[in-house]
Amino acid sequence: MGLSDLYKGNNETIGYTLEDVQAKNQNDPRHFLIPSQEEINGLKVGDQVRLFFVLDRDLGNGCRAERMWAEISQIDDGVFKGLLTNQPAFITSIQIADELEFLPQHIASVLLPKPNFDELLGALITDDCLERREINWAVRTEINNEKDSGWQFFTGYESEEDLDDSSKINIISLEDALNIEPLLETVLDKDGEAYFYQAESNCFVEDK
């Protein structure tokens, strides 16, 4: 018996509200990414979207919300209906295959094709990036081996001494780098040599 079974076994109904992810994006647009308006407008019946289901009570287990996918079954004047494709772990008021209604501000992500790069390849990253949980520069260098992506990540605040100290340079997968800086996904399959984060446009741009 798992932890979720203990909660479901007490016969209490555990409900939810859908999170307004657009509001969360406004508070932290750099690290909490949501689909663009163009992606929302392009959704059609059969597409899958991810929603955040915020539990209506504190279960005392650290779980605030369940993140689950729904397959769009109807779109009518900006209102979506979809079939839940996951079985909730804690929420009991809905089950897999149930239909629910949601709005554009509830769509946290859309199911897109896999990126054109191998997320398991390695890259170099400085201690400063890991400590700040921030990447401001992505520099492409010569690939050393089949497990190397050639990418190196910096904050731009490192001293020359830090950059010369190999003990302050780490190897990280591209997948883990994206967990730190999701916006990197827009440049990791490009051919430029260096990209930097531009705060005004909230994106990485090529350093030419």
Same domain, 127 and 148: yes
**Whole-model pTM over 0.75:** no
Q: Is residue 7 part of a domain?
A: no
Q: What is the DSSP string of 25-40?
A: HHH-TTTS----HHHH
Same domain, 102 and 30: yes
What range does the domain containing 90 cover?
13-110
Q: Is residue 115 part of a domain?
A: no
Q: Is the per-residue pLDDT at 5 higher than 70?
A: no
Write down which residue in 61, 88, 110 finishes a domain.
110
CB–CB of 137/163 below 8 Å? no
Instruction: Indicate the SS3 state at residue 179.
Output: helix
Same domain, 128 and 79: no
Q: Look up residue 20 and give its DSSP letter.
A: -
Q: How confident is the model at residue 1 (pLDDT cuts 50, 70, 90)?
A: very low
Q: Look up residue 87 and give its DSSP letter.
A: -
Instruction: Indicate the SS3 state at residue 47.
Output: coil
Q: Is the per-residue pLDDT at 129 higher than 80?
A: yes
Q: How many domains does the chain have?
A: 2
Write down which residue in 53, 77, 110 finishes a domain.
110
For the stretch 174-187, pLDDT in tens is 999 998 998 998 89
To 5 degrees, how large is the angle CA 184–CA 54–CA 90? 110
